Structure 1
Amino acid sequence: MIVSKLVLPEEVHSLREFRQRELPGFATVNIALQAFEFKALFPWHLSVLIRYVDCIEHRLPSDDEQKLLYSFEGRLDPLIKANNNALFLARVTHDCFREIIWRVRDPDAVDAVLRQILSNKDYRREFDYRIDDDPKWEKAAWHLGSRPTAH
C-alpha cells in the first residue's frame, strides 16, 4: 500500500489593486493556489470580515489600524491552518473593511476556533465570518483570476 502525504504549496503573495464604488481597494492573493492540484481537498470557503474604525483617506486603514489588523490576522492564521486544515487565499482591504479568506478542509474545526474567540471576546475589532461549501472554488475565482473549476 502506498501512502502519500499532502504537501501544501508555499504561499506566493501578489498584490492586486481595484476600484469599487469609487473607492480604491487592495487584495493580497496567494497565487500559489492557481496551480494547486488538490483543490478538492479544501472545498470550504472561509471569509472573516473585520470592520476597522480608524480610517484615513479613501476609507483605508491608518498605520496603527493596519498594525492592529495584521496582529489579529497573525494570531488567527495559525489557528485556522492548524493540522493543515486550511490554505490562505487572500486578504482584501476596501471601504473600512478587511476580509481574510482561507480555503478549508474541515469547517467544524475553524467554526470552533472562531466561536471560541467570539465567546471569549478575544478581539479588538468587531468581526463576522461565513463558511460556505464551495467545491468548485467559484468564490475564489475572482481572487485567483480564473474561472472556477472542479478539481
Structure 2
Amino acid sequence: MGFLNNLFGKKDENSPMETNEQTTYQDFWNWFATKEKEFFEVVKSRKDIEKDFFDILSPKLKNIDDGIYFLTGMKDDDTAELIFTPDGVIKKIAIIEDLVAAAPSFSNWVFTALKPSAADISNIGLRMGDYSFDKDNLWFYANSDESYPDEVDIVLVYENYKAADKDMITNAAYLFLDNYLGELNSVTTIDHLQIIGKNEATEELIPIGKMKDYLLWREREFVEKYQAVSYDTKNDGFSSLEATLNNGLPLIAIVDKTLLEWDSKASHPWMVTVKIKYDGKNNNGFPDESIYKLLDQFEDELAEDLKDVDGYLNIGRETADSERVIFIACKDFRKPTRVLDKMMIKYKGKIDFTYSIFKDKYWKAVEMYNV
C-alpha cells in the first residue's frame, strides 16, 4: 500500500463542514464508476498518479467534505484499494463510513473506511526525516489517577526522542499507532497520549507490541462497567449563573445542576461543543428577540434529534459577547456529527455555527460550572 495524499491542507477540528448540498454519496460513486477502470490502471502502473488520479479525485471528494483524505495502492495484483481517512479528526469519521457504506461493487477495487490495523507489528516500520520507528525502538506504559480511574493515559516511549524535533516525532508516532492499532482504535481508545524519551520514563517499559491487547482490555472493562447506564433529565434542577468577562461584557450560563453532580459521567465520554455566532453588539453581547427565537428553535431541534434517553445529555449553555456555546455529553460520536452536519446545511445563511467533538470522560470542559 502506498501513496498518502493529504488533500486539502491542515486539518481543523473546529472548522465548519463545507458541504455541497448538490453532491451526494451516490453522485460521487456514479462519477467514480465512469473512471474506475482508468483509475485502476493508473494505480497499478504507478505512473503519473498525482496528475491522473489524485488531482482528479481530490476535487470530487472536496464537494462532499473538505476533510476527506485518502491512501491508495495495490492490495494484490488484480485489486486496487482506496482507503478514506479523516486524518485523526473525530467528527469526520461518520462521513467517511457513510461514504464507503454507499460504495457499489467493482471487480478491481476495494474501498476501506479508516486506516486498518496491521496484522503483524513486525511489518510496520516508517521513516520521517532522520528518524525511524518500529517495534524495537518504541515502548509504552500507562499512567493512573485515582480521581479519573476510567481514563486511558498512555505514555509512548521512543528511544531516539529529541525535544528539538518534537513535532516531527509526534506526527510519526501517531502515524505508527494508526497503522498498528487501526485508525479508529487509535483515535477512540486512548484518552491522553504523551511521547517522551527513554531517559524520561518513570515506569517499567512495556513492549509496544502489547499495547493492542492492553487497550482491548481497558475498552472491554469500560463497556462492561457503563454499557447499561442511562440517564433521564426529566426531573433535574437547573441553575442560572452570571459572570463578567475580561472585556466587561456579561455572561449568563444555564446548566443542569443535577446532571453535573452525577457520579457516572464517564458513561457519556464524548463532549460536543456547539458554538453559535450572532450579532449582539447593540445588545450588550446578547441576542435580540428575533435571534433568541431562532436559537431556541435550533436548540429544540437539536434536543429532539439527540435525546437524553438515547445517550445525549444537554449539560447547558453559556451566552456572552455575541456567542452561544452549547455543551452535550454523548455516549457515541457518530450520531451527533451526522445530526449537526445536516443542521449546518439546513441553517446555512440563518445561523453561523461550528462544532467540535472530543473525548472527555470526566466532563472537564464544563467543570467551571461545578460551583
Q: Give your verdict on TM over 0.5.
A: yes
1:58 equivalent to 2:284? Answer yes
Shift of residue 144, structure 1, vs aligned partner = 2.8
Q: Which residue of 2 aligns with 1:149?
A: none
* Partner of residue 237 from structure 2, selected from 12, 21, 26: 12
What does residue range 58-137 of structure 1 map to in structure 2 within 5 Å?
Answer: 58-81=284-307, 84-118=310-344, 121-123=345-347, 124-137=350-363
Q: Which residues of structure 2 form unaligned runs of 5+?
A: 1-227
* Range with greater deviation from structure 2 (20-29 or 53-62): 53-62
- Greater RCO, 1 or 2 (C-alpha within 8 Å, sep 6+): 1
Query: How far apart in 1 are the matches of 2:283 and 2:257?
Result: 29
Bigger strand share: 1
Aligned letter for 1:15?
S
Q: Secondary structure at 1:71's aligned position in 2?
A: helix
Q: Which residue of 2 aligns with 1:45?
A: 271
Query: How far apart in 2 are the matches of 1:102 and 1:137?
Result: 10
- In the alignment of these two chains, the number of paired residues is 141
Q: Considering only aligned residues, what root-mean-square deviation do their CA atoms show, in Å?
A: 2.0
CA contact (8 A) 1:55 1:62 kept: no
Q: Which residue of 2 aligns with 1:148?
A: none
CA contact (8 A) 1:18 1:26 kept: yes
Shift of residue 136, structure 1, vs aligned partner = 2.1
User: Which structure has the larger Rg over C-alpha atoms?
Assistant: 2
Shift of residue 86, structure 1, vs aligned partner = 0.8
Query: How far apart in 1 are the matches of 2:231 and 2:280?
Result: 39
Identity in percent: 26
Q: Secondary structure at 1:66's aligned position in 2?
A: helix
Q: Secondary structure at 1:8's aligned position in 2?
A: coil
Q: Which residue of 1 aligns with 2:27?
A: none
